[in-house]
Structure 1
């Protein structure tokens, strides 16, 4: 058991310190971007500018001492307010300024043709207002021209069992209980791969994931998606909790999920959507509201049933009746297989995709 705990602790420390490695220990001002997304007309990248201390000496790379030093550096680093960043994507560029917590949200107009043989494109980011700042790059997802729909999914209790409310428990499962089988719902990885590929298997549809969790768990969720072979999509839509000593609670974010969906409906105005959530929170109500605002834009809503609650089930069925006239079908499903069977019947995934979900289930 002690050996397992040591293994867990080492893995957790490596994950926690991963963003600190890019400065090679020298410290200073650094940009930490997240994956971007966009269309062939515009793109978006979010990130944060930090000022972090150096290691003070040349510690062995990958050693325990260096990892502990990086833990301390991450704890005491701070966001840089009013930093000016220039972002370049191909021949396009834009300049943005960070907010009071060091976050930036860069929007860039694309007025030239991007390569069509790939969906991931490289954006460079450079801090203009800070001397000797460390530049960086990030990936930006641009859907292929043959993309036929967008998938937006909740994460907690929809994709994974344990979410941001129990981060340590999820990390324990990730590192000590074979994460591929014990953190994701059975069949969910195969179902999302089937949605990503479509009937032809090569659609490369945008897979967007939204959570009310803070950006500080980005690396943890990224690891979760990779371990479970779930299409990572362009970005994990998290949020800044804004915790301070004077305000030790998250900022309100009741509209976070609906705002993300509305923005995506506007960005991908020519494409229909599939929305996936769970019955435990307000996903059915939020998605129903979106359908009423944008009739005929949402093809299907898949709601994972997370507990046996006849009253809640009846409420969701009433919501399904409310949106049925728009052409959207709300499916309350007790498994990934139930969702996949409906998706196959509607022509959203292939027979091979459905078979893979059956096998994974």
Structure 2
């Protein structure tokens, strides 16, 4: 039984890691991998990476586990293409950026034409030109419709999913060997996020923005996790770069990264209120409290998932709750997804029907 599970896990794991390179048909060369973007009706942000990888050996048969393992090896030795030109078109809007030394590109585009008012995902065409290759591809950016009434920003690690980003093998084991749609996500979290996405009317299509302490290299794994657990998709564009340089020998602190992300979102969507979701295991309560103090009346609620058994930590978070209350916000230390949903229902953020779905999903998963 264990051997069968191990084989199943290995196949799934390999497929995840080889997914972004299947488009090269084994020929190798320059590959472009854009990530899902975000923006408003006046500006948009898009990120991606251009990299070079070797082709398969001549005569190598494509398909099967052996071929996938070869692709894993090709992925390991690939490297970013620096100074590649990336031409970006969003409707009538055009911009050009170049990749950095690791092959990443970051585009901030001023939108010069009117976008469809109620569309939420907009197609973006990219053409990447390097020294010897020209590649065309597409991606999407999320822009809130006019009906949007608030924005949700959520941490991922220990908030949506059990800790694993710091231990990737442990996370992947849970994702593919322990019923991914049940055990990798906290009970009821998928129903809760669907409720927040739809709002009290069920059709709000609110922006769901996700923050992770992990590096960009796990982007595909996080996307698979969201799809497997039926959690509303949104830009997962806020992962840290872990590359080290002489000037910056250590990764940025997670709380600094998160604070910068939220401040940028408050500026981008300056007419909308926010809900912030995190956990008690890290410094989310402290970071969110400082955000509320700096931006009074912009954050409607803070939901903190309790993931520890530390009474002193509970006291500290309660003190923070008193601080944000003075700034017109509520901080809820929640033992489960139901507690968050019931508070959201009491404030009119979600419907009774969707709150009941959270209760049912939570109780069902807790029994398993």
**Superposition TM-score tier, normalisation by shorter sequence:** over 0.9
Partner of 1:92: 93
- The separation in 2 between residues aligned to 1:138 and 1:59, in whole angstroms, is 31
Partner of 1:291: 292
- The separation in 2 between residues aligned to 1:80 and 1:109, in whole angstroms, is 26
Deviation at 1:250, TM superposition (A): 5.0
1:102 matched to 2:103? The reply is yes
Aligned partner of residue 21 in structure 1, secondary structure:
helix
| Equivalent pair of 1:28/1:133 in contact (CA under 8 Å) | no
**Structure 2: tracts of 5 or more residues without a match:** 363-368
- The separation in 2 between residues aligned to 1:214 and 1:313, in whole angstroms, is 30
Q: Deviations over 1:25-61 (max 9, x none)?
A: 2221121111000111111111111011122336444
Q: Deviations over 1:204-253 (max 9, x none)?
A: 00000001101111111111110100011123421211058x99985223
Q: CA 1:342–1:220 in structure 2 vs 1: closer, same or farther (change >3 Å)?
A: same
Partner of 1:330: 331
TM-score by length of 2: 0.94
Q: CA 1:58–1:357 in structure 2 vs 1: closer, same or farther (change >3 Å)?
A: farther
Equivalenced residue count is 360
Deviation at 1:65, TM superposition (A): 2.9
Partner of 1:264: 265
Partner of 1:203: 204
- The separation in 2 between residues aligned to 1:76 and 1:38, in whole angstroms, is 33
Deviation at 1:133, TM superposition (A): 3.1
Deviation at 1:166, TM superposition (A): 1.9
Deviation at 1:341, TM superposition (A): 0.4
- The separation in 1 between residues aligned to 2:181 and 2:198, in whole angstroms, is 21
1:358 matched to 2:359? The reply is yes
Partner of 1:251: 251
RMSD: 1.7
Deviation at 1:177, TM superposition (A): 1.0
Deviation at 1:111, TM superposition (A): 1.5
Partner of 1:234: 235
Partner of 1:8: 9
Aligned partner of residue 285 in structure 1, secondary structure:
helix
Deviation at 1:351, TM superposition (A): 0.6
Partner of 1:122: 123
1:147 matched to 2:158? The reply is no
- The separation in 2 between residues aligned to 1:78 and 1:187, in whole angstroms, is 40
- The separation in 1 between residues aligned to 2:209 and 2:158, in whole angstroms, is 16
Deviation at 1:309, TM superposition (A): 1.0
**Structure 1: tracts of 5 or more residues without a match:** none
- The separation in 1 between residues aligned to 2:161 and 2:235, in whole angstroms, is 19
